[in-house]
């Protein structure tokens, strides 16, 4: 019985829904720039001003904020780093390409854990790249990288000892964009990809989100579109035929390690 309920909860169907959140009092940071087509502008403002998403301009503040409860900084962050470090060592990986690295916090702790791992952190806004370069001095390279530009993958594809890391970015892309990315990575020869997924759509998660957002509406808060949620079934369809996948222990997140077929 429990098995059947778990199966139903996992939504074994191709299903993707739009995801809305309330930013509560922090709403004032986003006024007027939270349209669906404005993702780049939205990240620019969040990285500049929003207390939860800001990348500090100076290294001192960035270092001080590394252990705060901010976006992606929960109390199991270093356990995730440790889990991935073990996989990297086991697989003999030499270069770590983090796509959409944001504030670079995961990458900072990983670099401390494996100092001889080459870390290439990237972002797709000029401002994000500039800020990360200013603060993350241990990083081997910080570069501009648009995951939706197929040509970007060429360089990474040539590195046979590298892994692509896409962490907590799953909501950013539509289903068509995810398919495009996997096709481009595969074509470029990218051998390994590690996905750290924070939100998987389940039946329960869907109901909980509806209730939560209803409460926000009653309080008079605005809801903002922040991307897409999809079921595990849908996710797997993105790389089917291109990569094999293995689930990896990755606390408070979902770790999936992909290898090129
Ligand atoms: C939710 S944040 C996660 C950031 C970071 N990985 C973390 O865990 O804190 C999503 C990130 O994806 C980046 N992003 C969105 N679209 C992108 C694209 N087309 N190419 C590369 N990065 C992108 C955004 O700039 C943003 O920093």
Residues 6 or more apart whose Cβ sits within 8 Å of residue 231: 10, 11, 12, 13, 14, 15, 16, 200, 201, 202
Between CA 55 and CA 126 the distance in angstroms is 13
Question: What are the DSSP calls for 62-106, one per residue?
Answer: HHHHTTSS-TT--TTHHHHHHHHHHHHHHHT--EEEEES-TT-HH
For the Cβ of 146 lying below 6 angstroms from any atom of ligand 1, the answer is yes
**What is the band of 230 on the pLDDT scale with cuts at 50, 70, 90?**
very high
List pLDDT tens digits, range 96-126. Answer: 999 999 999 999 999 999 999 999 999 998 8
**Weakest-pLDDT range from 18-32, 79-93, 143-157:** 18-32
Q: Does residue 36 register a pLDDT over 70?
A: no
Q: Does residue 31 register a pLDDT over 70?
A: no
Please tell me the total count of domains within the chain: 1
For the Cβ of 148 lying below 6 angstroms from any atom of ligand 1, the answer is yes
* Ligand 1 pocket test target in 37, 55, 100, 102 with most atoms within 8 Å of CB: 100
144-to-16, 89, 101, 127, 202 alpha-carbon distances in Å: 29, 27, 11, 10, 34
> Which residue has its alpha carbon closest to ligand 1 atom 14?
100
Q: Are strands 192-197 and 254-260 parallel, antiparallel or unpaired?
A: antiparallel
* Nearest atom within ligand 1 for CA of residue 128: 25
Q: Determine the distance separating the centroid of ligand 1 and the alpha carbon of 7, expressed in angstroms.
A: 31
The confidence score (pLDDT) of residue 69 equals: 82
Between CA 38 and CA 132 the distance in angstroms is 22
Q: Tell me the average pLDDT across 66-93.
A: 92
**What is the band of 29 on the pLDDT scale with cuts at 50, 70, 90?**
low
Q: Determine the distance separating the centroid of ligand 1 and the alpha carbon of 213, expressed in angstroms.
A: 24
The two tokens of residue 248 are 């990896």
Q: Does residue 33 register a pLDDT over 60?
A: no
List pLDDT tens digits, range 132-185. Answer: 999 999 999 999 999 999 999 999 999 999 999 999 999 999 999 999 999 999
- Residue 141 lies in domain: 2-260
Between CA 79 and CA 82 the distance in angstroms is 5
Most confident stretch, 6-10, 208-212, 257-261: 257-261
User: 182 and 242 in contact (C-beta within 8 Å)?
Assistant: yes
Work out the mean pLDDT of the chain and round it to a whole number.
91
In CATH, what number is assigned to the domain containing residue 49? 3.40.50.150
Place of tokens 């790389």: 239
Percent of the chain with pLDDT over 90: 68
**What is the band of 52 on the pLDDT scale with cuts at 50, 70, 90?**
confident
For the Cβ of 147 lying below 6 angstroms from any atom of ligand 1, the answer is yes
Backbone angles phi, psi at 219, to 5 degrees: -80, 0
For the Cβ of 169 lying below 6 angstroms from any atom of ligand 1, the answer is yes
Q: Does residue 229 register a pLDDT over 70?
A: yes
| 67 vs 151 pLDDT, higher one | 151
Q: Determine the distance separating the centroid of ligand 1 and the alpha carbon of 178, expressed in angstroms.
A: 13
């Amino acid at each position: 019985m429990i098995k059947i309920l778990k199966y139903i909860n996992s939504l074994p169907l191709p299903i993707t829904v739009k995801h809305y959140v309330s930013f509560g009092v922090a709403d004032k940071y986003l006024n007027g720039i939270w349209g669906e087509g404005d993702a780049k502008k939205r990240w620019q403002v969040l990285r500049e001003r929003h207390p939860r998403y800001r990348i500090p301009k100076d290294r001192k503040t960035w270092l001080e904020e590394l252990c705060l409860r901010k976006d992606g900084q929960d109390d199991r962050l270093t356990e995730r780093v440790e889990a991935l470090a073990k996989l990297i060592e086991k697989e003999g990986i030499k270069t770590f390409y983090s796509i959409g690295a944001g504030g670079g916090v995961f990458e900072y702790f990983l670099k401390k854990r494996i100092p001889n791992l080459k870390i290439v952190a990237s972002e797709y806004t000029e401002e994000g790249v500039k800020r990360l370069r200013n603060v993350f001095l241990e990083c081997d390279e910080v570069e501009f990288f648009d995951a939706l530009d197929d040509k970007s993958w060429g360089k990474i594809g040539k590195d046979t000892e590298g892994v692509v890391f896409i962490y907590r970015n799953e909501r950013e892309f539509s289903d068509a964009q995810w398919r495009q990315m996997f096709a481009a990575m595969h074509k470029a020869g990218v051998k390994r990809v590690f996905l750290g997924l924070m939100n998987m759509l389940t039946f329960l998660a869907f109901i909980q989100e509806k209730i939560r957002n209803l409460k926000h509406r009653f309080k008079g808060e605005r809801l903002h579109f922040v991307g897409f949620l999809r079921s595990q079934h849908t996710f797997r369809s993105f790389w089917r035929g291109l990569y094999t996948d293995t689930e990896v222990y990755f606390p408070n997140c979902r770790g999936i390690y992909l290898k090129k077929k």
